[in-house]
Amino acid sequence: AQSVAQPEDQVNVAEGNPLTVKCTYSVSGNPYLFWYVQYPNRGLQFLLKYITGDNLVKGSYGFEAEFNKSQTSFHLKKPSALVSDSALYFCAVRDRNTDKLIFGTGTRLQVFP
Amino acid sequence: GAGVSQTPSNKVTEKGKYVELRCDPISGHTALYWYRQSLGQGPEFLIYFQGTGAADDSGLPNDRFFAVRPEGSVSTLKIQRTERGDSAVYLCASSLLAASTDTQYFGPGTRLTVL
């Protein structure tokens, strides 16, 4: 069965510092991986996805994620955090046989000024 | 362009009542998905439409839940005899095609509260 784990409920980082939000996955075939962000009282906004090719994927708002097949990870990163990045981040996975996204439980990112 | 819209944004109802939640997908998107997000959890899949037909309804929790998409655009999620455990945010998403590589774009959700 497919699954996603986000081991950290919350990540705290100072503004200007690099940030990492962790995600590991389990699928039977090749994974398709997604990151979404959720601001209070709003829906999920798409950040980036990995389908195939270059393991480093660049997305919206300066975010990037690195696909690591051997570690089954897809960590979200940003070189310099902004206070406005504070939100709830969700990792999700699909494979070619699945029409639905399987989401992790989310990680709350808090960026302090 | 316009994104996915959902109405109402908030719905408060009493236990045992019937509710309908509406989703208007991005124009031209053929695939439409419903998810449910409980407090402190990630979204969980309910049902997926390809065109007018429900291609996968394996996530519907029981037969009180039903969804339609009669013209292949707008979809309505219907919940009969609501229970307090149905309280959650119901999210709708659409994608251009149904391919597993396609990005799903989400609406703002409907927050359902069952008293």
Share of chain A above pLDDT 90, in %: 82
Query: What is the nearest CA distance from A94 to chain B, expressed in angstroms?
Result: 7
Residue B59's alpha-carbon distances to B34, B66, B75, in angstroms, are 9, 11, 16
Q: Count other C-beta atoms under 10 Å from residue A42's C-beta.
A: 14
- Say if B59 is an interface residue toward chain A (CB within 8 Å): yes
- Are A46 and B101 within 8 A, CB to CB? no
* Cβ neighbours of A4 in B, within 8 Å: 42
pLDDT tens digits for range B15-40: 999 999 999 999 999 999 999 999 98
Q: Where are the beta strands (DSSP E) in A27-112?
A: 32-38, 44-50, 56-58, 64-68, 73-78, 87-94, 102-103, 107-112
pLDDT exceeds 70 at position B1? no
Burial tier of A9 (Cβ tally within 10 Å: 0-12, 13-18, 19+): exposed
Give mean pLDDT, residues B62-90: 96
Facing A99 at nearest CB: one of B98, B103, B108: B98
Query: What is the nearest CA distance from A4 to chain B, expressed in angstroms?
Result: 10
- Are B106 and A92 within 8 A, CB to CB? no
- Say if B25 is an interface residue toward chain A (CB within 8 Å): no
B1/A107: higher pLDDT: A107
Integer Cα distance of B2 and B106 in angstroms: 12
Tokens found for residue B114: 């069952």
> Residues B82, B66, A1, A103: is their CA dihedral positive or negative?
negative
- Are A44 and B59 within 8 A, CB to CB? no
Best of A21, A33, A42, A44 to disrupt the B interface by mutation (most B CBs within 10 Å)? Answer: A44
pLDDT tens digits for range A9-63: 999 999 999 999 999 999 888 899 999 999 987 789 999 999 988 999 999 999 9
- Say if A49 is an interface residue toward chain B (CB within 8 Å): yes
Share of chain A above pLDDT 70, in %: 100
Best of B104, B110, B113 to disrupt the A interface by mutation (most A CBs within 10 Å)? Answer: B104
